[in-house]
Structure 1
Amino acid sequence: MKTTCYLDAIGVVPGRISEVSSAGFTLLVEANAERKARIDDRLAWLRAHANDTADQRNDPRIVPTQRAVSVTLSNGQTIGAEIVDLSMSGVALTTSERPDPGSAVTVGKRFATVVRHTADGIAVRFKLPYSPTTFNERVVL
């Protein structure tokens, strides 16, 4: 079956599903040699940096006035969290629950993806970053 996948860190990947199992599926990439080489390079880079715990956010950070926030997990469970710091592209949270990296969550009303675990919780990247005009200490997630 032909399909097109969108992978967050890679982009659009056209291909054909060759095998389906309870763990997922196998995609045979249908792209020219140059595109396949770029995908291979990006995957190699992602594997090499998968366990990096260093700060990976480029945007300036703030600590908003309202730090308490609810996090909704992909299964619908809602947990409490506290904002450690916030950037236009993501947020670090203190929370006892630690969804796996790559998990989809909703922080307040913002859709996000867990990018790593921290010493006291998780860090997430927003699907849509804040605009500079709406980003300040009074922002409420």
Structure 2
Amino acid sequence: MTTLTDIRSRLDRRRIKVAARGAQEQRRHRRVKLAVPGRYLDPVRGEFMCRLVDVSPGGARIAAEVPPPVHQTIVMLFEGLGRLEGEVVRAGRAGFAVRFVFSQRKRDRLADAITWRFNMERLGLTEDRHAPRKPGKGRATLRLKDGVMIKADVIDVSISGAAFACLERPRVGEPIRVGEMTGRVARWLDNGIAVAFDPPRPREEAHPA
């Protein structure tokens, strides 16, 4: 027999999935800053060290002392993001920009990896070493306005919010801080809470030379 709790649980999971799909659509067009060391392979000149500056599922800006020529197709390797292939669309003394060349399925996987890497530092997340390495697995400390701290498991995380499994459930609308991020309790879940992050402050877009 289906209970009211079962129905609420299914609705909560559905809301999380809908929110995740919406965030994924935003991530397809939004670049986020990620300072990740890596290297790239130029098929003509060989391998060079580089560092990721910002990235989206469609492309990235990369700092490098030896940038590749424009229109060259290169292979890049960054920790946590894996092997990426793209075409150089701009290049200058500070580095270069690439447009990724791969399937939509890989773009979706990259969007998840970008979100996880982006939020790990900002939310102060620690990975669960005993669980599969995939988005939404980790531990976080939630801090309330009165100083109370709640240890929670990450269920789902996106650019605009996150869901946490925890025993304590602050009231809906209560201010909350997770790492460097601030936000409010958006709703209760059957096994925890969903948090909506405050919008980021506007900032100027940077472009490679």
TM-score (norm 2): 0.35
Match of 1:124 in 2: 98
Asked if residue 113 in structure 1 is aligned to residue 82 in structure 2, the reply is no
Are the structure 2 counterparts of residues 137 and 76 from structure 1 closer, same or farther at C-alpha, using a change threshold of 3 Å? farther
Q: Which has the higher helix share?
A: 2
Q: CA deviation at 1:76?
A: 6.0
Residue 137 of structure 1, CA deviation: 4.4
Query: In the aligned structure 1, how far is the partner of 2:116 from the partner of 2:97?
Result: 19
> Does structure 1 conserve the Cα–Cα contact (< 8 Å) formed by 2:39 and 2:47?
yes
Q: 2:68 is matched by which residue type in structure 1?
A: P
2:16 corresponds to 1:81: no
User: How far apart are 1:107 and its partner, in Å?
Assistant: 1.2
- 1:100 partnered with 2:78: no
Structure showing greater Rg: 2
Report deviation, 1:100.
1.4
Determine helix, strand or coil for the equivalent of 1:98. Answer: coil
Asked whether the equivalents of residues 62 and 137 of structure 1 are also in contact (C-alpha less than 8 Å), the reply is no
Aligned residues: 81
User: Closer, same or farther in 2 for the Cα pair 1:137/1:94, shift >3 Å?
Assistant: farther
What residue identity is the alignment partner of 2:115? N
* Identity over aligned pairs, percent: 19
Q: Partner of 2:33 in structure 1?
A: 63
Root mean square deviation, CA, Å? 2.2
Residue 136 in structure 1 maps to residue 115 in structure 2: yes
Which aligned segments of 4 or more residues in structure 1 are displaced greater than 6 angstroms? none
**Secondary structure, counterpart of 1:135 in structure 2:** helix
SS of residue matched to 1:100:
coil
Question: TM-score with structure 1 length normalisation?
Answer: 0.50
Question: What secondary structure does 1:105 align onto?
Answer: strand
Deviation of 1:119 after TM superposition, in Å, equals 4.9
Deviation at 1:94, TM superposition (A): 0.6
Unaligned runs of 5+ in 1: 1-57
Q: What residue identity is the alignment partner of 1:101?
A: V
What letter matches 2:33 in structure 1? V
Contact 1:63–1:137 under 8 Å retained in 2: no
- In the other structure, the counterpart of 2:141 is none
Structure 1 residues 105 and 137, CA, compared in 2 at 3 Å: closer, same or farther?
same
Output one character per residue of 1:96-137: Cα deviation in whole Å (capped at 9) or x when no partner. 112211101011111111001145110001102621444314
CA distance in 2, matches of 1:114, 1:126: 9
